Structures are given as C-alpha cells and as structure tokens.
Amino acid sequence: MAANKRYEGEDIVVLEGLEPVRKRPGMYIGGVGMAGLHHLIWEVVDNSIDEAMNGHATEITVTLHKDGRKITVSDNGRGIPVDKHPKTKKSALETVLTVLHAGGKFDGNNYKTAGGLHGVGASVVNALSKELTAVVRRGGAQYRMAFAKGKSTSKLQKLKGAVRGTGTTISFTPDPTIFPKTEFDTKVIRARLETASFLHRGVKVTYNDEVNKSKETFFHEQGIVDYLAKVVKERNARPIHESPFTLRKEDDFRMELTLQWTESTDEHVRSYVNGIPTGSGGTHENGCRGAVNKAVRNYIDTHSLTPRGVKLTLEDIREGLIVILSVFIEDPQFQGQTKDRLNNPDVQSVVEAAIRPAMEQWMNNNRSVADSIVARIIAAARARAASRAASAAVSRKGGSKRTMLPGKLSDCVSGGKGDSEIFIVEGDSAGGSAKQGRNRNYQAILPLRGKVLNTESATLKKILENKEIQDLVAALGCGIGPNLNLADLRYERVILLADADSDGHHITTLLLTFFYRHMPALIAAGRLFIGVPPLYRIDLGKETFWAADEAAREEVLEQYTGRAKPEITRFKGLGEMMPKVLWDTTLNPEKRRIQKVEIDDQLETDRIISDLMGRDASARFRFIMDRAEDAEAIDV
C-alpha cells in the first residue's frame, strides 16, 4: 500500500441529483441481481397500492411487454400532481421522479398509511432505468414526460384532447449498464400481484403478460382468509382445525390476521406492513407471537389441560402454525429502503393487545377446536423431548449406523413386502407356539419378556437403554420419535398379541403407551392393531366355540342352551395353546379378530394415558375410586 498519499478537500466527491443511486444501487434496492431488478416493479406498484389503500384507487394494471424487459404500471388513482413545485420550481411530477426524498407522504395529510414513506421509490426507479415515461390524468387532461437514467429528456407535455378519470401510468426499462440481466421473471411478478390482491380487499389487480400472451385479474373479497387457504394448499399442510382464527380491526389501528394450525412440523409466517412484505419480520410479528403464546397458555391453565412430565415451549405452540399478518400504520420505521423488517417499538404491544383477548375468546367459544390445537401442541412437546433424548443417546454411542435385527425375532420370508405382519407376543412360551403356528411366508414373531417398561413414567434415557424397547424398535426398522420414517417400516401391519386376561391387557396398555408417545405415526397411518385371542374354549358335543371374554362366553352358552353339557376351558395364556389352535383362533387372517388402534380424541387420550400410566399416583387413585362401584369382579 502506498504511504503519504495526497488527500485534500478537492478529493471529496459530491454526487448530485440521482448520481448516488446509480453509483451505489445496492443501498436503495438491495443489489443488482434478480431481487433488485424486480424491486423496481415493487416500488412503482407500491405507489399505486398506496392510492388504493387510502381510498383513491380501485384498479391497478401491470403489463410485461413483449421484449420481457419493459414494465408498465397503471392505476386509476388521483394522478401525480403536475403543477409547479414552489421549492424546486419544476413540475411536481418531475420533482417526484428526479429528486430523492420528494413525495406526498411526509406530512400525513394525503396518505394516512403508505408503504413508501421516504420519497425515494419513484426517483430510484427512474435513476436505474434506461428510459422511463410518466403519463398522468388529472383535471380532464393528460400529461406526459420522458426520462433517461434519472434525467428528464422532455418537458412536461399536455397532450391534446380531453380524458375522463384520473390516474398515473409509469413505463420503464431497466438500465443494462446497471443490471447484469434485465429480463423479468413473469412468475415472480404474478405471485407478488396476486398477494397484493389478497392484502387489499376490493382492489382489482390485473396482470397483462405479453410475453406469454396471457391476462389475469386478481380480486379476492375474503382477502387474507383466501390467502391462508392458498398457502395451506401450496404447502400441502393438513389443517388441525377447519375454520381459521381471523381478526380484522378497522379503527385507529388497522390490522388483519388469520392463522391456522396444521400437521406440518414448522412455523410459517407471512407478514406485511402497509402491503409491503416483511420477510425478516419485526415488531409486528413479535407482537403476534407473544399474543398467540399467551392466549394458548391462558386457555390451557383455565381448563386444567397442562400435561404432566413435559414443558410446553413457545416453539411447541408455534409448530405447524401458518399465519398471515397484515398491519397498516401511519409512520412505519423500516430497516433499509427494501423495507424487509419493521422496527417500530410501539407496534409490538399494540398488536399483542389486539390479538390476545380476541384469540382467547375464540378458543373458549370453540372448545373442540381449541382442544385439538392443545393436543397438537402437547404432541409436539413430547416429540421434541424425545428427539433431544435420542440425539443425546446417539451422540454418546456413536459408532456404526448399521441396524442389527434382534436375535429373538423370527422374521418372515417376505419381510417388508406385500401383506407382511409382525406379532409382538407376550413371553417366550407364547412366542414358541406362535412361531410354530404362523405362516412364515408373511408373518413374523417377536416375543417380549414379561411386562415391558412403562415408558410414560420412565425417563427417556431409561427408555432408550431398555433391551425390550431396543429390540422392538430394531425389528420395526423405521426409527423412533421425530426421526421415524414410515416408509422404512418393515411390515404392513404391527399386531400386539398378549393374553386375554388382565395381565395381558396391562401389557397391551404398556405397549400402546410406548407407541402413542414415541411412534404415533404408526397409529395415524392405521398400521397398529391389537390381536384378540380367545380366553375360553367351549365344547358343546362335537362343536367347539371360542370366547374372548366372559360376555362372549355367556352369549354362546345362552344361544346353545339344552344342546349338550358344555365343557369350558379357560386358557391361562397363549403359551398353553397348541400351535394349530393358535393359528385357527388368533393368527389366521380368515378367522382371527384384530382391532385397529385409532384415536378419536387426542387430547382426551393424552390425559388418560398421563393419568393412568404417569408418575402421579393420585390420578390413578381417583380413577379407581370413581369407578369402584362399577367393578363386578377383579381378575386376579
């Protein structure tokens, strides 16, 4: 580096007029790539939308001309003034298009709310255009003025003939010496214009694409409600509740909000300030998130829905949430000319105060919807906790990722194909009979030792270290928790098969608890079943009948009263059944009984499992005492 270089006052460069924009365009439009190129359109369109937002325009038309490089934006607003400006001594039209920080949105008299407040949008577009033409309709006359690279190339001309209506038309072609690529993307333009029609109900937005010879008009009476439905569909997100929460305020602070929880695993927010998209969020988004968090937590506390054993975080509440938020404020403070983030500190508290009570009322008035939302949130919290524990276990273990099938598994020939199924069987004795009685072509058997671990009251560390759980997860092959991939499930059906007595029911409940908490996707996909083996064998002469419980036994006896003296055998367990008997009664798809595991009320299911299987013994005590009179007998 050269030392002692001369540096005097004459070395200071003063850029006049729009020269700073051409010298450093990135400061004004974010860059000269495709995003910056399209930002030129948004600056002009936003000015038209400002007219519509303040009740002065109802139609906006954008045309992409045949060369793909020229854009025309026209509206039926009031038209940019053309009279002489007292300070610049130029027409107001020329002033707006050639002077930075010149516009009609500073004093608040002409625009209550506006997207462009710095007075640089139109002049920046002019500075970065090879040519720009402005046509204004005002007072029954039409005026025209031409520009190039920020400087006027013609005087303001009053065109001949009278015209009806008012409005402004801006046509421009980006300067190829500024932008490496000057061809516009029609898909980007169309998407932005359609969004504008969602955000401004009652405004007709037309897109005329001469490149592809198409013309489309966007008009949405339901506004952001229609927008939310479109976003949900585009993201292929299945809603948790049918009707979204919607709030519209039209008083001193104008705001529109609609939101809906879905089965998606991420949060998706689209926020806008005076019609300008704020991709980096800001204080309005922070206020919305705070309101949703408090409203949901207040509902949970009010109705005693706090889950046991898991802490709900803001991340859990927001999982699967899709939000469209649009606010209109008089003096927005954006971060940079590209208006990507709102910085007004006071907006956060105003937004939160508007949303929270309205949302609490909506949840309390729609209990079934609110309960399904809470169930969704609790499931997210449990899945997140399981994910953290699983990640920690993997980090500790390290080593090979190769999955080894458990030695106790008697796999089927067609594992993972066609109608293959696996029976999770209670004990080695029952497992032995099932292995001999099964059809080995498509039926696999995995015996588990005794009563499996209660995964509701055990720590996640203990669950992941449990040998029986490890064998079960390895046999199924699809993973656990949020890392579960249903496509990797090695069998078409997973069937829980325990004895028909109370001990067998307890084992089935323990397994159901594990699947509900850590592999819920199997239940949602209809892949988990419960086998129903017989508890009684009833021989009447030469006929044999099977009964799953006492009620079924009594039904058989009543139906065949007087035919012969019945011989009743009560099975102590599946292990004492001969393999052929087990096949005929329990394994044979043509004769067996199996029940698909389904969840009708997720919130109620979560509560019952937490009460009956959780660490809090008092919940079980209350359950038993409340139902003590209903118990006719206890199977011991």
pLDDT tens, position by position, 20-52: 788 888 888 878 999 899 999 999 998 898 888
Q: What is the band of 336 on the pLDDT scale with cuts at 50, 70, 90?
A: low
Radius of gyration of the chain (CA): 35
* pTM: predicted TM-score of the whole model, two decimal places: 0.56
Other beta carbons within 10 Å of 345: 8
Q: What distance in Å separates the CA atoms of residue 162 and residue 169, rounded to the nearest whole number? A: 17
* Structure-token pair, residue 437: 């009685």
Taking residues 477-489, what's their average pLDDT? 83
Q: Hey, is 610 helix, strand or coil?
A: helix
Q: Residue 313: pLDDT above 50?
A: yes
| Choice between 125 and 114, residue whose per-residue pLDDT is larger | 125
The answer to whether the beta carbons of residues 390 and 464 sit under 8 Å apart is yes
Catalytic residue flag (residue 499):
yes
Q: What distance in Å separates the CA atoms of residue 366 and residue 547, rounded to the nearest whole number? A: 44
pLDDT at 537: 85
Q: What distance in Å separates the CA atoms of residue 43 and residue 77, rounded to the nearest whole number? A: 16
**Who's near 178: CB < 8 A, 6+ residues apart?**
22, 25, 32, 128
The answer to whether the beta carbons of residues 275 and 224 sit under 8 Å apart is no
Instruction: Identify which of 410-414, 593-597, 600-604 has the greatest average pLDDT.
Output: 593-597
Angle between helices 602-613 and 502-518 (to 10 degrees): 120
Which whole-number Å values give the CA distances from 313 to 294, 321, 381, in the listed order? Answer: 11, 14, 7
The 10s digit of each residue's pLDDT in 67-113 is: 999 999 999 999 999 888 888 788 888 888 988 755 443 334 443 44
Pairing of strands 204-209, 59-64: parallel
Q: What distance in Å separates the CA atoms of residue 171 and residue 476, rounded to the nearest whole number? A: 63
From 285, 426, 468, 584, active-site residue: 426
**Who's near 251: CB < 8 A, 6+ residues apart?**
none
Pairing of strands 129-138, 443-448: unpaired
pLDDT at 140: 92
* Structure-token pair, residue 83: 């009279």
Q: Which phi-psi region, left, alpha or beta, contains residue 481 (left: φ > 0; alpha: ψ -120 to 50)?
A: left
| Choice between 199 and 54, residue whose per-residue pLDDT is larger | 199
pLDDT at 388: 59
| Choice between 250 and 350, residue whose per-residue pLDDT is larger | 350
Q: Specify the DSSP class assigned to residue 383.
A: H
* Structure-token pair, residue 193: 């214009």
Q: Residue 270: pLDDT above 60?
A: yes
From 285, 499, 584, 606, active-site residue: 499
Q: Residue 412: pLDDT above 50?
A: yes
Pairing of strands 151-152, 594-596: unpaired
pLDDT at 386: 66
Q: Hey, is 504 helix, strand or coil?
A: helix
Q: What distance in Å separates the CA atoms of residue 272 and residue 282, rounded to the nearest whole number? A: 10
Instruction: Identify which of 315-329, 537-551, 609-623 has the greatest average pLDDT.
Output: 315-329
Taking residues 603-612, what's their average pLDDT? 77
Taking residues 120-133, what's their average pLDDT? 89
The answer to whether the beta carbons of residues 427 and 449 sit under 8 Å apart is yes
pLDDT at 62: 97
Q: Specify the DSSP class assigned to residue 213.
A: T
* Structure-token pair, residue 52: 């519509």
192-195 contact pairs (CB < 8 A, 24+): 192/38, 192/41, 192/42, 192/45, 193/45, 193/62, 193/218, 194/218, 195/227, 195/277
Q: Residue 183: pLDDT above 90?
A: yes
Classify residue 244 by burial, with Cβ atoms within 10 Å: 0-12, 13-18, 19+: buried
Q: Residue 396: pLDDT above 50?
A: no
pLDDT at 377: 92
Domain boundaries, the chain: 19-217, 224-331+339-383, 421-533+593-630
Pairing of strands 151-152, 157-159: unpaired
pLDDT at 117: 33
pLDDT at 627: 65
From 19, 59, 267, 501, active-site residue: 501
Instruction: Identify which of 214-223, 422-431, 551-560 has the greatest average pLDDT.
Output: 214-223
From 503, 539, 549, 576, active-site residue: 503
The 10s digit of each residue's pLDDT in 356-366 is: 999 999 999 99
Closest CA to 264 of 229, 233, 245, 238: 238
Q: What distance in Å separates the CA atoms of residue 407 and residue 132, rounded to the nearest whole number? A: 78
Q: What distance in Å separates the CA atoms of residue 261 and residue 369, rounded to the nearest whole number? A: 10
* Residue-by-residue DSSP string for 411-451: --TTTTSTT-EEEEEEHHHHHHHHHHHS-TTTEEEEEE-SS
The answer to whether 224-331+339-383 and 421-533+593-630 have equal CATH topology is: no
The 10s digit of each residue's pLDDT in 438-452 is: 998 889 999 988 778
Q: What distance in Å separates the CA atoms of residue 27 and residue 45, rounded to the nearest whole number? A: 20
Other beta carbons within 10 Å of 588: 13
Q: Residue 636: pLDDT above 80?
A: no
| Choice between 619 and 229, residue whose per-residue pLDDT is larger | 229
pLDDT at 631: 57
pLDDT at 399: 38
Catalytic residue flag (residue 503):
yes
475's enclosing H/E stretch is helix 467-476
The 10s digit of each residue's pLDDT in 496-545 is: 998 877 788 888 888 998 998 888 889 888 999 998 888 888 888 778 88
Q: Residue 466: pLDDT above 70?
A: yes
Q: Residue 369: pLDDT above 90?
A: yes
pLDDT at 109: 41
Q: Specify the DSSP class assigned to residue 162.
A: -
* Structure-token pair, residue 264: 């998606």
pLDDT at 387: 60
Q: What distance in Å separates the CA atoms of residue 436 and residue 430, rounded to the nearest whole number? A: 10
Strands in 359-512 per DSSP E: 421-426, 443-448, 493-497
Catalytic residue flag (residue 252):
no
Classify residue 355 by burial, with Cβ atoms within 10 Å: 0-12, 13-18, 19+: buried
The answer to whether the beta carbons of residues 167 and 74 sit under 8 Å apart is yes
* Structure-token pair, residue 595: 């029940």
Q: Which CATH class is domain 421-533+593-630?
A: alpha beta
Topology, domain 224-331+339-383: Ribosomal Protein S5; domain 2 (3.30.230)
Topology, domain 19-217: Heat Shock Protein 90 (3.30.565)
What count of residues does the chain have? 636
The answer to whether the beta carbons of residues 359 and 291 sit under 8 Å apart is yes
What does the mean pLDDT of the chain come to?
83
Q: Residue 394: pLDDT above 60?
A: no
pLDDT at 354: 94
